[in-house]
A = this chain, B = another copy of it.
Amino acid sequence: MSATSKGQNKREALVKATIKLVNNNGFHATPMSKIAKMAGISPGTIYLYFENKQNLINQVYIEVKASFSDFAFMDYEEHFSVEKGFEKIWKNIAVFKLKEVEEAMFLSQCDNTPMIDEPSRKEGLKHLQPLLDLWVRGQNEGIIKQVSPYMLYAFSIYPIAFLMNMQQRELYELSSTHVDEAYKMAWNSIKI
């Protein structure tokens, strides 16, 4: 096995351990020593891959956000009709948030906490452009409400995070019927 792929494995193990531990304990309540132990390496080794704890968190955030965005636009093509395109993206996001729960919960904690610094936050936001473009097209076609994209996001995408939270706390079980209901509500709130 090459040195590179071994290094990748350790980095990957570190990222995974960070996500899991931060989900369960929060950022400042997860010591580097525990992250190292869960990743199966020694504490000092973390510093071969990341500058320090803050840098570790920022990097993990950016990577998870990127993998989320990739997932969101999987199989989406710009020539789709607005409605079909939105459905594809929305359902991708729903699948991600309901199946990749660890990663989704991590993002949710990062987005509601001062644990990520502002540059990394901005960095993580870049990838959503295709959805914004789709909405503008929809507005030009007279299909989508003429309101700010923040508003559209708040009412169609953001609710999925709440449902994920409830499902995670075992307060609510989301069957695929429920996901369809939810999609219809999302579309209802943004279509004219």
Contacts and interface: CB of A to CB of B under 8 A. Distances in A.
Interface string A75-110: 000000000000000000000000000000000110
Given A24-B114, A28-B27, A185-B145, A155 B159 contact: yes
Interface string A36-80: 000000000000000000000000000000000000000000000
Contacts of A153: 162
Contacts of A111: 112, 165
B185 A172 contact: no
Interface in A106-157: 108-109, 111-115, 145, 147-148, 150-151, 153-155
A163 interface: yes
A28 B26 CA distance: 8
Contacts of A115: 26
Contact of A151 (B109, B165, B182): B182
A178 B108 contact: no
Nearest to A147: B181
A190 B184 CA distance: 11
Given A23-B114, A148-B178, A154-B163, 18 more contacts: A24-B114, A26-B114, A28-B28, A28-B29, A108-B112, A111-B165, A148-B172, A150-B162, A151-B178, A151-B185, A154-B182, A155-B155, A155-B159, A158-B162, A159-B159, A185-B189, A185-B190, A188-B188
